[in-house]
Structure 1
Amino acid sequence: MAGRKRTPDAVKQLAGTAQPCRMNPDAPIAAEGVAEAPEWLSARAAEIFADLAAITDRMRIASPDDVAMLALLASRLEEIEACTAVIEDLGRVYQTVGSTGAVMHRARPEVGMRNEAMRHAQALLAEFGLSPAAR
Structure 2
Amino acid sequence: MAGRKRTPDHLKVVAGTDRPDRMNPDAPKPAASMPEAPDWLSARGAEIFDQLVAIVGAMGIGSSSDAAMLALASSRLEEVEICTAMIEDGGRTFVSNVTYDDQGRVASQQIKGHPAVAQRSEAMRHAQSLLSEFGLSPAARSKVSVNTPDEQNPFAALG
Matched, 1:81 2:81: yes
Paired with 1:33 and 1:82, the residues of 2 have a C-alpha distance of 31
User: Is this contact kept in 1: 2:99–2:109, CA < 8 A?
Assistant: no
Matched, 1:114 2:111: no
Residue type of the alignment partner of 1:7: T
Matched, 1:103 2:86: no
Matches within 5 A, 1:1-135: 1-97=1-97, 101-135=107-141
Q: CA RMSD in A?
A: 1.4
Residue type of the alignment partner of 1:97: N
Per mean C-alpha deviation after superposition, the further-off stretch among 44-53 and 124-133 is 124-133
1:2 deviates by 2.1
TM-score when scaled to structure 1? 0.94
1:99 deviates by 6.5
Count of aligned positions: 135
Residue segments in structure 2 that go unaligned for 5+ positions in a row: 101-106, 142-159
TM-score when scaled to structure 2? 0.80
Cα deviations by residue, 1:79-131 (Å, 9 ceiling, x for unpaired): 00000001011100000125685111100110111011011101101111111
Cα deviations by residue, 1:38-88 (Å, 9 ceiling, x for unpaired): 111110000000000111100101101111111111000000000000101
Instruction: Look at both structures and tell me which one has the larger radius of gyration over its CA atoms.
Output: 2
User: Is this contact kept in 1: 2:41–2:75, CA < 8 A?
Assistant: yes
Structure 1 stretches (4+) deviating beyond 2 angstroms?
A: 97-101
Residue aligning to 2:104: none
